[in-house]
Amino acid sequence: MQLQAKTVLNDIQPFMGFVYQDVRGVRNRQGHIQKIEIGLAAHSQINGKCSRCLKAAPGYDRLPER
């Protein structure tokens, strides 16, 4: 059975309100994978919450990726 990296990440490190968007390996000059980059995106069905008061904040943290 072949597991996808997203499946493993969801099992060991779930982030409520977010989904793993893409997983890719970054190779060095010799062609070996040096690091793994994982993209996160806000879950489209879950409204954002303030990290301090936990109240709903629908427009919270919608800036483009830096």
In a domain, 43, yes or no: yes
In a domain, 66, yes or no: no
Please compute the mean of the pLDDT values over residues 13-21 and round it to a whole number.
85
Side-chain-side CA neighbours of 23 within 13 Å: the count stands at 11
Give the pLDDT score at 31: 92
**Hey, which bits of 1-66 come out as E strands?**
18-27, 33-42
Give the pLDDT score at 47: 77
**Which tokens is 47 given?**
């409204």
Count of domains for the chain: 1
In a domain, 31, yes or no: yes
In a domain, 21, yes or no: yes
Give the pLDDT score at 61: 59
Of 1-5, 31-35, 58-62, where does the model show the most confidence? 31-35
Q: Which residues of 21-42 are buried (b: 16+ CB within 10 A; e: fewer)?
A: eeeeeeeeeeeeeeeeeeeeee
Residue 5: is its pLDDT beyond 80? yes
What pTM was estimated for this model as a whole?
Answer: 0.60
* Residue span of the structural domain in which 38 resides: 1-61
